[in-house]
Amino acid sequence: MLKARITGTGLYVPKKVLTNLDIEKMVDTSDEWIRERTGIRERRIAAEEEAASDLALMASNEALKSAGLKARKLDLIIVATVSGDMPLPSTACILQHRIGAKKAAAFDVNAACSGFIYALSTADAYIRAGIYRRVLVVGSEVLSRLTDWTDRSTCVLLGDGAGAVVLEATDGDRGILSVKLNADGSMWDLLHIPAGGSRMPATEKTVKEGLHYMKMRGNETFKVAVRTLEKLVLSTLKEHKLKPEDISLLIPHQANLRIISATAKRLGLGLEKVMINLDRYGNTSAASIPIALDEAVRSGRVREGDYIILEAFGGGLTWASALIKW
Ligand code: COA
């Protein structure tokens, strides 16, 4: 039976650091409030000339290097993003050209913060079906461009960055064991960008009213996230006859430390088994899991044979998990 195994990981974050103290000077908030309510201390902000494909390119080169694979060998590139370079073409196509992956098909996936796991699942399905053997999956976001820097309830949360993984077909027992994807569109308006699409095209008025920025009902999102994530992880474990203690590392989407801690507590997992880096990067949407995964791998927190779980929750609403034997 064919499986998809992650053979390389990489990340890139922009150089500019924006601390909570910097944000204190922009809106009515405080470092203390942000740390206590979210766990975030600082986030990265892309340079003016950097767009999602630039971040994706750097992260992808790292992932290919660690997999020991040349870009021209790739069969498929999937980029998960809500902040692509432009609405048309896909950021994946721009990346395909810039990375020199001449024979790879390329497309984007939009499932907001769950985007990386949705993209991973797509890659996994192509590999299992024997259609493609080598796939690059990237989460890349420049959320700072979709952020209303006068809205304290959202601007403190978000950051820019990219993470990438190379997946290759294998016959062994290591690799992606299962992926679960979920959506509930009835709550689409908890997290959305009203203007700039076909529903409300860009006009002078929409720009003036800031309707191209992300709008979020944070508190409601928070409650649904905690409820949903516990159930999701437990059902993933049950399906594979595993217990929470069999998991070596949980890599959650980095949205809010309170969501992460509450989920870990409900699962009976100590925080030493949970990857947390949102204090340094904030919420980077589809990029957060591959960034955290790369840091976990490079710091030796993931070892061969370990069971790890990725889980995410985000706009759509969407939520997703993946169980991997490393
Ligand atoms: N600084 C200071 N005060 C702030 C603030 C900020 N940056 N942002 C909001 N507040 C205020 C609110 O105005 C409100 O004041 P009020 O009580 O006078 O009306 C108060 O803090 C509480 O707001 P509330 O939204 O209930 O806070 P909260 O405990 O839910 O925390 C979030 C807010 C956004 C941190 C939290 O809801 C959250 O993280 N939600 C999930 C968001 C998320 O992860 N979304 C992405 C999903 S992938």
DSSP track, 54-87: HHHHHHHHHHHHHHT--GGG-SEEEEE-SS-S-S
* CATH code for position 128: 3.40.47.10
Tell me what pLDDT residue 220 has.
87
Q: Is the peptide bond before 252 cis (omega within 30 degrees of 0)?
A: no
Q: What is the residue-averaged pLDDT of the chain?
A: 96
Same domain for 11 and 98, yes or no, is yes
The secondary structure of residue 104, as a DSSP letter, is -
Same domain for 183 and 138, yes or no, is no
Same domain for 155 and 252, yes or no, is no
Tell me what pLDDT residue 224 has.
85
- Based on the structure, what is the number of domains in the chain? 2
Q: How many other β-carbons are positioned within 10 Å of the β-carbon of residue 87?
A: 9
Q: Is residue 261 in contact with ligand 1, taking CB distance under 6 Å?
A: no
Same domain for 244 and 148, yes or no, is no
Same domain for 216 and 252, yes or no, is yes
* Alpha carbon nearest to ligand 1 atom 10, residue: 153
Tell me what pLDDT residue 171 has.
93
Last residue of a domain, one of 126, 147, 172: 172
Same domain for 164 and 24, yes or no, is yes
Same domain for 157 and 230, yes or no, is no
Last residue of a domain, one of 143, 172, 201: 172
Same domain for 149 and 7, yes or no, is yes
R_g of the chain computed on alpha carbons: 19
Ligand 1 mean position to 38 CA, how many Å? 9
φ and ψ at residue 211, rounded to 5 degrees: -80, 0
Tell me what pLDDT residue 210 has.
95
Longest dimension (CA), the chain: 57
What single-letter amino acid sits at 267?
A: L
Contact call for residues 106 and 136 (beta carbons, < 8 A): no
Spatial separation of the C-alpha atoms in residues 323 and 311, rounded to whole Å: 9
Contact call for residues 251 and 229 (beta carbons, < 8 A): no
Residue matched to tokens 């679960």: 180
Same domain for 297 and 193, yes or no, is yes
Same domain for 62 and 166, yes or no, is yes
Q: What does the block give as tokens for 280?
A: 């340094």
What is the reported pTM?
A: 0.96
Same domain for 185 and 168, yes or no, is no
φ and ψ at residue 157, rounded to 5 degrees: -90, -30
Ligand 1 mean position to 276 CA, how many Å? 20
Q: Which residue range(s) make up the domain with 57?
A: 3-172
The residue among 108, 137, 109 whose CA lies nearest residue 124 is 137
Ligand 1 mean position to 308 CA, how many Å? 30
Last residue of a domain, one of 130, 156, 172: 172
Same domain for 162 and 235, yes or no, is no
Tell me what pLDDT residue 222 has.
84
What single-letter amino acid sits at 256?
A: N
Q: Is residue 113 in contact with ligand 1, taking CB distance under 6 Å?
A: yes
Spatial separation of the C-alpha atoms in residues 117 and 122, rounded to whole Å: 9
Q: To test the ligand 1 pocket, which listed residue (25, 82, 116, 153) has its Cβ within 8 A of the most ligand atoms?
A: 153
Tell me what pLDDT residue 219 has.
86
Ligand 1 mean position to 153 CA, how many Å? 5
Spatial separation of the C-alpha atoms in residues 112 and 109, rounded to whole Å: 9
Q: Is residue 254 in contact with ligand 1, taking CB distance under 6 Å?
A: no
Q: Is residue 152 in contact with ligand 1, taking CB distance under 6 Å?
A: yes
> Which strands make up the sheet holding 76-80, listed edge to edge?
3-12, 160-170, 134-142, 76-80, 105-109
* Active site residues per annotation: 113, 253, 283
Q: Is residue 218 in contact with ligand 1, taking CB distance under 6 Å?
A: yes
What single-letter amino acid sits at 119?
A: A
What single-letter amino acid sits at 265?
A: K
Q: Which residues of the chain have pLDDT under 70?
A: none
Tell me what pLDDT residue 218 has.
86
**What are the CA-CA distances from residue 104 to residues 59, 67, 75, 225 (Å)?**
17, 17, 4, 35
Spatial separation of the C-alpha atoms in residues 126 and 106, rounded to whole Å: 13
Atom of ligand 1 nearest to the CA of 113: 48
HSE-up (13 A, CA, CB side) for residue 309:
30
Q: Is residue 38 in contact with ligand 1, taking CB distance under 6 Å?
A: yes
Residue matched to tokens 């088994």: 273
